[in-house]
Structure 1
Amino acid sequence: MNGVTRREQLRAATDLDIRGHARELLVREGQEAVTLRAIARELGITAPALYRYYDSREDLLNRLSEDICDDLSAELNETMCGIEDDHLSKVFAVCRGFRSWALAHPREFTLAFATPGGNGSGNTGTDAHDPDATATSEKSATHKSATHSDELGSVFLGVVGPLMAEGAGNPSPPRIPEELRAGLTDSQRDLAAALNTHGIEMPPEAFSVEAVYMMLRWWARLYGQVALEVFGKFPFDVSHADRLFESMLEELGREAGLYRQ
């Protein structure tokens, strides 16, 4: 017997409609256009009715960001299908897939991966016409900080984690600046907890501070070029950004021991 009531089904359907319209507004007009009043107009309901589903605009943007990252994660995992059991090909496919997705979805990339704390416009990210904005902004900002950390990890851990567990090679340990070691040890524990949450078992040798440092460097360079491309912020003209990206992947692949000797 189905334990879901019709009222719950209707609520879930309305919630999907709200997020669907919010995402359409995001893609069509940008993040600033995503307001509770605008969505209410599109749905033909009153703005106060939306507060039965979301505490604030920021709350809605958080959920929208989660949806985007879920879709991205599924897309990246799909890029792995059909690839032979080759670490280099798998990792490169994920990195290329992330870049391609970001360039094709700049506004969704901005919300999910380049919006610090609020809506990226220098304020708290709440709706200027939101009567509950003052009461909810602090709660929403705290929630966003936590969920963005989870989202960012979930996109890549589910794909890259198993490759680490299998062992991608035996690279020479990178030299880690001493002032970074304490923080990397904390990151090591956080990463272990995140992998455990995803049900990914890691052998101790694949989970060293050096491995965490390598992952940090990989992500910093991958994200750095992708963000520069999406926002058109290269400090000089780069006519072949794709070749620059491939060169970066090759260099990182060698550092990580992904190339077979």
Structure 2
Amino acid sequence: MSDADIRRVARSLLVEQGPDAITLRAIARELGITAPALYRYYESRDQLVAEVRTDVCNDLAQALSAACDGLPDDAGIRFFAICRGFRQWALDHAREFTLVFASPSAAVLGSAMQQFGEPVGRLFLEAAGRLLTDYAVVTPPMEFIPPELRDDLIAFQTELLRVLSDSGQKFPAEKLDLGVSYVMIQFWARLYGHVTLEVFGNYPIPITNPDVLFDATLADIGRSIGLAG
């Protein structure tokens, strides 16, 4: 038995039954060993879940990179391809999506800012950085940004600049003002919200062609910042 065997079984339980199925007892049973034997590899279930989560994030990052294969070297086209790739991966891997983005474990295993340093976060930041470099992204005037949100946006801006500095990513930091920070948060909230509703089947009405609705949503978000989806 190896660490790879444990994570393979844990991932299988995740895919077949969901995040709650990842228990040391269930994994031990699948491997034909006793649960205490697993403590030679992992100190706790949380540590094991964190490793599985890392594996899932790495797979997602590869899928998002593949979504850009063969596309023109255009920042807008590639950014929207990554958004579509994220949605498709989530639909194809609903339980992995749940573990990483929509379960209590996601909050325990890492803050949102830490996730920017992970492969998926780095891909989104790189794509956003190229958009800011190559396009005249429209941001709201300061008076349109609710004053109650400005302290939060300043904290986000500061932390994001730190993450970018630590990771060495190419991102036009001089353009990361509060307007851009506000747009980034709004964009992610709408993208993530839409994908989450679709993955969990929580649309308020039956949608016969969800692809069209998602593309229309992306186009609307794009228009709001001066881009075409």
Change beyond 3 A, Cα 1:236–1:155: farther
Residue matched to 2:101:
113
Percent identical among aligned pairs is 44
Between 1:225-234 and 1:164-173, the stretch displaced more is 164-173
Cα gap change, 1:179 to 1:73, in 2 (>3 Å)? same
Q: Could you say which structure has the larger radius of gyration? A: 1
Superposition deviation, residue 42 in structure 1: 1.5
1:212 and 1:156, CA in 2 relative to 1: closer, same or farther beyond 3 A? farther
How many pairs are equivalent?
224
Mapped partners of 2:23, 2:78: distance in 1? 39
Structure 2 vs 1, CA of residues 163 and 109 (structure 1 numbering), >3 Å: closer, same or farther? Answer: closer
Shift of 1:28: 1.4
Match of 1:180 in 2: 149
What are the residue-to-residue correspondences of 1:1-261 with 2, within 5 Å?
14-117=2-105, 144-146=109-111, 149-151=113-115, 154-166=118-130, 167-174=133-140, 175-259=144-228
Q: 1:152 to 1:65 in 2, by over 3 A?
A: farther
Q: Structure 1, residues 21-53: CA drift from partner, whole Å, max 9, x if none?
A: 100111112222221011112222211011122
TM-score (norm 1): 0.78
Q: In structure 1, how many angstroms separate the alpha carbons of the residues matched to 2:183 and 2:119?
A: 18
Q: CA deviation at 1:155?
A: 4.3
Deviation at 1:117, TM superposition (A): 4.2
In the superposition, relative to structure 1, how do residues 71 and 151 fare at CA in structure 2: closer, same or farther (>3 Å)? farther
Are the structure 2 counterparts of residues 89 and 172 from structure 1 closer, same or farther at C-alpha, using a change threshold of 3 Å? closer
Shift in Å at residue 71 of structure 1?
A: 1.0
User: How does the TM-score come out when normalised to structure 2?
Assistant: 0.88
Partner of 1:136: none
Query: How far is the alpha carbon of 1:164 from its aligned partner?
Result: 3.6
Contact 1:69–1:151 (8 Å) recurs in 2: no
- On the 8 A contact 1:92/1:249 being kept in 2, the answer is yes
Instruction: Find the residue that maps to 1:80 and give its secondary structure.
Output: coil
Question: Structure 2 regions of 5+ residues with no counterpart?
Answer: none
Residue 83 of structure 1 aligns to which amino acid in structure 2?
Answer: L
Cα RMSD, aligned residues only: 2.2
Q: C-alpha separation between the residues in 2 aligned to 1:27 and 1:149?
A: 26
Question: d(CA) in 2 for partners of 1:25 and 1:217?
Answer: 34
State the distance in 1 between where 2:110 and 2:149 align: 23
Distance in 1 (CA, whole Å) between partners of 2:38 and 2:116 is 27
- The whole-number CA distance in structure 2 between the counterparts of 1:152 and 1:34 is 25
Which residue of the partner structure matches residue 129 of structure 1? none
Whether the aligned pair in 1 keeps the contact of 2:99 and 2:105 (CA below 8 Å) is no
